[in-house]
Amino acid sequence: MAETQPRMLSDLARGDYSFVDVNGNGLIEQEEINNLAKQVAQEEGFVAPDEEVVAFTTRLFDLNQDGKLVVDELLTGIVLENAVDRDEVTVQEDVFKVFDQDGDGFVSRKEWTAPLGDLGANGEAMKDFVFDRVQYLQRQDGKLDVAETRNALSLLRVAVLGY
């Protein structure tokens, strides 16, 4: 049976990070994040962040800013953080394919917005702004190629994650 193409950015990390939602309720609760931070710190041999840092991180990944961190928000944030190769002017191939849903080698405005999910009250406007900004700075043809998608994801990462 053919593997289904991921439709959302969160789908790219679902298999690797599904363990974070320990109780399986779809929400990443503060206790789950605290326990995960302690576990990773112990396994990697560094000091676990204090609860204030963990709480900030939880708010950072609450992409729609509703006060609840759901699995898809965490996974989208993780993929967004790692989608762009900092050493090269490229975007990971699997990430580009999530956006290029018709396989034509370009990302239309419609293809750009869907995989990002809910980014809060101003999320759709932010998605449009990033798309339009990259278009204005580059080819202005109504679609993003691989390099433009990388630039758009870089801008979006700064807007959403703050870095």
CATH number for the domain spanning 154: value is 1.10.238
Interval 49-57 mean pLDDT = 89
Q: Is residue 156 part of a domain?
A: yes
Per-residue pLDDT, 92: 86
pLDDT tens for each residue of 1-52: 556 788 999 999 998 888 889 899 999 998 898 888 898 899 999 999 988 9
> Has residue 85 been placed in a domain?
yes
Q: What is the pLDDT of residues 75-91, one digit of tens each?
A: 999 999 888 876 666 78
Tell me if 3 is assigned to some domain: no
Q: Is residue 4 part of a domain?
A: no
**pLDDT value of residue 73:** 94
Q: Name the pLDDT band for 161 (thresholds 50, 70, 90).
A: confident
In a domain, 76, yes or no: yes
The burial of 42, by beta-carbon neighbours within 10 Å (0-12 exposed, 13-18 middle, 19 or more buried), is given as exposed
- Domain containing 40: what range? 9-161
Give domain status of residue 1, yes or no. no
| pLDDT for res 18 | 80
Give the total number of structural domains in the chain.
Answer: 1
Q: What is the pLDDT of residue 100?
A: 97
Q: What is residue 81's predicted lDDT score, i.e. its pLDDT? A: 86
Task: Output the pLDDT for position 139.
Answer: 86
What CA–CA distance (Å, rounded) separates 161 from 98?
Answer: 20
In a domain, 71, yes or no: yes
pTM score, whole prediction? 0.81
Question: Within a domain: residue 2?
Answer: no
Q: What is the dihedral of CA 21, 27, 31, 33, to 10 degrees?
A: 60
